[in-house]
Amino acid sequence: MIWVLSSAFLHAAWNALLKRHPNPEVGVVSVISVVIVASGLWALGMSGPAFSNVRGLGWALWAGVCESLYLLGLARALKQAPLGLAYTVSRGGAMVLVWPVSVLWLGESVSSWTVTGVVLLAGGLAVMNLSRPTGPTGTGLSWAAVSAVGIAGYHLSYKMALGEGAQPPALFATGLLVALPVLILERGRQQGWAVFRHEVVQAPGLVLLTGLISAVSFGLLLTALSSGGAGAVLTLRNTSIAFALMLAALQGERLGRRQLAGAGLVAVGAVLLGVPA
């Protein structure tokens, strides 16, 4: 449990740091580059094969596709919407998507607590978006929903790869190696290559710190995921929603009553999803 909670805090922290980058949509490319190097060095220190079979490698590659979707959505969400809102929608939405798959496909147990948790979590997300925000915030939350699909996809893919004997650091580095070229191509075309080359090297200290924190966060997640259920681990890790809201408050963000109520329902739903069946 302590590893997952630590991963949750560090995940919220690296998202909060990325939010402070002059251009999060380009900064995410720099951060992921740091994460790949850190994870690659960790993998080199491991003994045994990185992937025991082709199936594990295949799931790692598919996780990379989902990582691309997640990171593209995350960067755009953080650029246009407040951290607290974007983070809650992306992480809460991922839980709603992962739990049915975990129960029906991976055989995780279900209980009245699970059902109640899903209802509260989905209700919380609905309450937060009863009056759909307009302008940049509304667009940002739409991208947060896209990010949620990516989160659910890579989480389940990593779980399947670990079940095939993949080593956590090699698995993570492989997934991000698939995602990075997609990010570079998409960001370069959208921003313009001259702007991209200029902004990708901005705030190097912030980028290095953010990348290292992200690498540790995902390393702890995959270590926990190798021995725990996908739904249960994702649920406990998504206590990061509470951490993100606290970090957002420290950065001066203020949510309205309805948004706070919705975030509260999401947090309670996440806790109930984590109650053993």
Q: 81-93, pLDDT tens digit by residue?
A: 887 778 778 877 8
Report whether 224 contacts 3 (CB < 8 A): yes
For the cut 60, the answer to whether the pLDDT of residue 14 exceeds it is yes
Cα–Cα distance, 34 to 147 (Å, whole number): 21
From the number of C-beta atoms within 10 Å of its C-beta (0-12, 13-18, 19+), residue 205 rates as exposed
- Angle, vertex CA 234, rays to CA 25 and CA 127, nearest 5: 70
Q: Where are the alpha helices (DSSP H) in 105-239?
A: 112-128, 135-163, 168-191, 193-199, 204-225, 230-237
Cα–Cα distance, 42 to 50 (Å, whole number): 11
Q: How far is CA 241 from the centre of its chain?
A: 11
Q: Spell out the domain ranges in the chain.
A: 2-273
User: For 181-199, what is the mean pLDDT?
Assistant: 89
For the cut 80, the answer to whether the pLDDT of residue 160 exceeds it is yes
- How far the first Cα of the chain sits from its last, in Å, is 17
User: For 35-54, what is the mean pLDDT?
Assistant: 88
Q: Tokens 């890790």 appear where?
A: 237
Quote the crossing angle between the two packed helices 83-104 and 257-273, to the nearest 10°: 30
Report whether 262 contacts 139 (CB < 8 A): no
Q: How many helices (H) and strands (E) does the chain have?
A: 12, 0
Q: 252-264, pLDDT tens digit by residue?
A: 777 677 777 777 7
Cα–Cα distance, 39 to 36 (Å, whole number): 5
Q: Which of the four pLDDT bands, split at 50, 70 and 90, describes residue 107?
A: low
Within 10 angstroms of residue 277's Cβ, the number of other Cβ atoms is: 11
